[in-house]
Structure 1
Amino acid sequence: MALGANLPRDLGSIRRSPAETLRHALADLAGEGLSLVACSRFYATPCFPAGAGPDYVNAAARFDNPQGLRPDEVLALLHRVEAAHGRARSTRWAGRVLDLDLLAMGQAVLPDRETFEMWRSLPLAQQAQTAPDRLILPHPRLADRAFVLVPLAEIAPDWRHPATGRSVAEMRDALPSADLNAVQALPA
């Protein structure tokens, strides 16, 4: 799972930073029945698309699913946690208090290989205009994003993409060095 936030959360007299929101979200996910196996460090990353808002704090986490939730049930759980933290889904790629993305569940390709490939190959201009109406796994943009792959490589470098066969480390290493260098670990 990928976690991100670039907007503070106002809680009356308390203002929670994006990093604090990520820590609270991790605890909430564990409270919802997922079991945290590993979490990467937190990273400062440029806003995507460039200039659309403040920079992000990103991380990756791996969870066990002891309740055997289906992928759509896990996604619904992620959306509930986002909403509990004040996430509003206004416009595509808008700034957010919390963003939880289900990147993959094992080797599942959902809903099917053809639909996955269609979303994976969608041109950037169309990505900005449209979003899938159902869960696509693995996340169609997984291999393109340093802000996902750098933290993910800390906790699952050997996981292999079920559609491409490439490991997380291989996908990360294939990205432009400028993208990788822009992802900076935050102090613990």
Structure 2
Amino acid sequence: MAGHCILISVGSNIDREYYTRASIKALAKHFNSIRCSSVYESESVGFAGSPFYNLVVSAKTTLSVNDVCQVLKKIEREHGRKHHEKKFCSRTLDLDLLTYDDKVISTPVVLPREEILYNAFVLWPLAELVPQRKHPSTGRSYQSLWDDFDKQKQHLWPINFSWS
């Protein structure tokens, strides 16, 4: 299918297995050509909380950036996410649009998402899923960015995740 290539980060630290599985089913209802990185477990970043499950999803869509963001918020709400929560807190589901083709924009959302460059739980799955794809702002491949990342800053590890 033709369309725009999007990369989405998925995270959960409340009933992680359930919400991680549910997120992929929900994303597949709205987007095409879904591909997933491995699932990683990571310490919570920015607050004291339970460890997260994280992964990155690649998909195709004909929707606009704004519509993709609305779909992601809708999926989060349908899975128990409250959007009045503070920025750093435990959550059932966190879906963030990381990139939309190679767009570099600041509205309706900042793309590419800034956390790509400083959160291991986003960068490592990106380097695994689309290693040669270039970051729209830096022009460097995700693999090269991951190779140079300070791996002592944040701890995460791939897990053996059962999708069924």
CA shift, 1:161, in A, is 1.3
SS of 1:141's partner is helix
Instruction: Count the aligned residue pairs.
Output: 153
- Provide the secondary structure at the position in 2 that maps to 1:177: coil
Q: 1:159-174 to 2 correspondence within 5 Å?
A: 159-174=133-148
Question: 1:80 is matched with which residue?
Answer: 74
| TM-score normalised according to structure 1 size | 0.77
Alignment of 1:1-188 (within 5 A): 1-8=8-15, 18-32=16-30, 34-49=31-46, 51-65=47-61, 68-89=62-83, 90-111=85-106, 134-179=108-153, 182-188=155-161
Q: TM-score, normalised by structure 2?
A: 0.88
Whether the 8 Å CA contact 1:19–1:42 is kept in 2: the answer is no
Q: Percent identity?
A: 29
Structure 1 consecutive aligned stretches of length 4 or more whose deviation exceeds 3 Å: none
Give distance in 2, aligned partners of 1:105 and 1:73. Answer: 12
Using the TM superposition, give the Cα deviation of residue 3 of structure 1 relative to its aligned residue in structure 2, in angstroms. 0.3
Q: CA RMSD in A?
A: 1.4
**More helix as a share of residues:** 1
- Once the two structures are TM-superposed, the CA of residue 142 in structure 1 deviates from its matched residue by 1.0
More strand, by proportion? 2
Task: Determine the C-alpha separation between the residues in 1 that align with 2:44 and 2:122.
Answer: 13
Deviations 1:29-66 (A, max 9, x none): 1112x0143101111101011x521110000110011x
- What amino acid is aligned across from residue 43 of structure 2 in structure 1? P
- Residues in 1 aligned to 2:22 and 2:110: alpha-carbon distance in whole angstroms: 26
Please report how far the alpha carbon of residue 84 of structure 1 lies from its aligned counterpart in structure 2 after TM superposition: 0.3
Answer yes or no: is the 8 Å Cα contact 1:3–1:100 preserved in 2: yes
Amino acid across the alignment from 1:158? Q
Higher relative contact order (CA 8 A, sep 6+): 2
In structure 2, the gaps of 5 or more residues are 1-7
